[in-house]
Chains A and B, each alone.
Chain A
């Protein structure tokens, strides 16, 4: 069983809801990322999503686009992202790490080489925004052979048939994108999420993470009451962006926000 599946099985028993932060590898600098990952684990997160910077992040809003650009200025790449995971694994063998990015860097490296290198680095899941299940079969098969989960995004307009398709090709968890839009959009409607989850649950046994548009502890709490995991990204990256000359302050603010989310998520009324 993959590290992700094991974790989610544990959480299911205890009713624990996973908190999953997203940061872009190498933003604002390559040195920032590994210590930030450890600090987030100390703050109570369960799984870490690392963005792999790409020149053309079509599904991302301005905040994550700029994070990608900053990381690329430091020559961050898929290979160097794997080195970051490997560094992190030197002192943490427990927290699952999911890479999130676009198909072309993986394609350029080659699916076989990537699957091997990712496993060697200690990656647990891969989420490729522009690789829907129709096109993902080859990649998913290779990743699974290396004990890595291929994770798919579900959208508000995904039909039941598509949920079934992702259930068949995907593993680890499904990531429900709670709004139609790019990352960082801000019109999440929790009652819509609640309705959609009924369809999703009816078509898959996989755990469901929910993200896009979660910015504060109160929303995290509500979402944790609905799904199995809460994913937060743009709001964390905004803090990096607001403190480019003082990354320690960014780190501190991120930790505080994650702690407050952890607290509200664990204290459902």
Chain B
């Protein structure tokens, strides 16, 4: 392991995390990301902006979210003490709002009047539609036709909130295609439009900016863990779609070399089948959606269609910082199949009375494997990135139940 973690200071001024990240976009968008970068650099160090963000976190999102000691589950697994970071209790039911509330504040300061977003599971779309409703801004959400079918509830929520949901029928009709379409919209309407990207990926400064907004998760968790247990956790576990809930939890611990970080990708039907969404575990570096990062691609550099039971993890790329953390060995990346995720889903529901999102269920499933291998005085923080209400139809259908 390279000793870069003592004073971790990524990305560089051009948005690179080692060879990853960067600015791989069409020329028309360059002025837009430069404008965004200027606003982001300026406001993230502006006490007034940060105070407004803190206030919204507290009174609108409902932060801090609890760090909950899952005693019964810990006892049953017989190993590490499991602490759940309860992002499922945030307004709109997932960590996604930490980021949208931050980006919309920037959009407002930049005088943008029209907001666009892409969404997979619909959680980011809902979180975006929510903050737009609150500020009275026009909101257009791009969503793959396949995802619209499996996340109908969230589509309805977005529409109730006043957003226009555009069905994307090109390519694989999932999250990556929704991103393509959002980028096309942005190129066309760049003057008045702010693109709220939903994960820690995309052209610079998005990966660092989304991380910074999501880092509230890890900052709170660190304090809460110290307050509740008197020490730092031994390991962190989070699921990885684009990687925003994971990097949000990990980043404030990055200089604590003794804290292990584990990201859980979606293995779908199994890595060996090729039907999965695990670029860090089974892909290679390439360029997509504005950044260089691990991707799922064929020999010709074409992007492969992904598969996961969870729409929010069904993406062939990953945020560039995770690619870097993997290469330097600071974080470890594992994968969980659809079937294992369902076990994780049921385990948490039965043992703790908390129904997790299918995305988060991947982190729960890995907890089932990891916790028993750790001693009982060890502390494991698992990011419960969202609640499972949106997945009731998927789960019922999978188990042959009509609701």
Interface residues of A (CB under 8 A from B): 54-62, 65, 69, 72, 77-79, 102-109, 129-132, 134-135, 152-159, 162, 177, 180-182, 185
Contact = CB atoms under 8 A, between A and B. Distances in A.
A185 to B, nearest CB: 7
A134 B30 CA distance: 10
B26 A104 contact: no
B402 interface: no
Contacts of B292: 107
A102 B184 CA distance: 14
> Which 5 residue pairs spanning A and B have beta carbons closest together?
A108-B301, A105-B301, A77-B300, A155-B28, A181-B188
A157 to B, nearest CB: 5
Nearest to B290: A130
A159 B24 contact: no
Contacts of B23: 132, 134-135
Given A58-B289, A65-B170, A152-B27, A182 B184 contact: yes
Interface string B329-359: 0000000000000000000000000000000
B25 A130 contact: yes
Interface of B: 14, 22-28, 30-31, 170-171, 176-177, 179-180, 183-184, 187-188, 190-191, 285-290, 292, 295, 297, 299-303
Given A104-B303, A105-B300, A158 B180 contact: no
B301 A180 contact: no
Contacts of B184: 58-61, 182
Nearest to B29: A155
A158 B27 contact: yes
B288 A157 contact: no
Given A56-B303, A104-B295, A105-B301, A157 B28 contact: yes
Contacts of A55: 171, 302-303
B14 A134 contact: yes
Contact of A77 (B14, B170, B285, B302): B302
B16 to A, nearest CB: 9
A132 B25 contact: yes
Contacts of B287: 102-104, 107, 130
B171 A56 contact: yes
A135 to B, nearest CB: 5
28 contacts: A55-B303, A58-B26, A58-B183, A59-B183, A62-B170, A65-B170, A69-B170, A72-B302, A78-B300, A79-B300, A104-B288, A105-B302, A107-B301, A130-B26, A130-B290, A131-B24, A132-B25, A132-B30, A134-B23, A154-B27, A155-B28, A155-B30, A156-B28, A159-B31, A177-B27, A181-B188, A182-B184, A182-B187
